[in-house]
């Protein structure tokens, strides 16, 4: 097996090194694109969740406002129908608050 071997030249080394560099560069670019896509999708999902949570919070605030208006209206109606009863209720509430406050101190 007498084969003539060629001496390894620096041009072959450079070509080999360039091919490896290109392969590494492609792999890195592919990994970057994959990560970038995944992060972009996660950000989009996060923004959608925040937007949905904001809409729900706004809806809940609106509902609470409507309930407070309804309660206030009901209390006004009760005060018009029975003013002495409302005064008695307010007096009892004040006494209870005073007892609780005094018991803690």
The radius of gyration computed from the CA coordinates of the chain, to the nearest angstrom, equals 39
Confidence of residue 66 (pLDDT cuts 50, 70, 90): very high
Query: What would the two tokens of residue 2 be?
Result: 């007498």
pLDDT tens-place string over residues 40-62:
888 888 889 999 999 999 999 99
CB distance 85 to 77 below 8 Å? no
pTM of the model: 0.46
User: What is the CB-side half-sphere exposure of residue 93 using CA atoms within 13 A?
Assistant: 6
3 sits in the region (left: phi over 0; alpha: psi -120 to 50; else beta) called beta
Q: Write down the pLDDT at residue 44.
A: 86
d(CA 19, CA 32): 20
Higher pLDDT, 104 or 2: 104
């Amino acid at each position: 097996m007498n084969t003539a071997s060629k001496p390894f030249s620096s041009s072959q080394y450079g070509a080999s090194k360039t091919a490896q560099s290109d392969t590494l560069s492609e792999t890195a670019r592919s990994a970057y694109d994959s990560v970038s896509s995944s992060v972009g999708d996660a950000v989009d999902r996060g923004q959608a969740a925040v937007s949905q949570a904001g809409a729900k919070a706004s809806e809940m605030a609106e509902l609470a406002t409507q309930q407070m208006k309804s309660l206030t209206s009901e209390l006004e109606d009760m005060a018009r129908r029975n003013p002495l009863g409302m005064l008695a209720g307010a007096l009892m509430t004040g006494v209870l608050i005073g007892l609780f406050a005094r018991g803690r101190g």
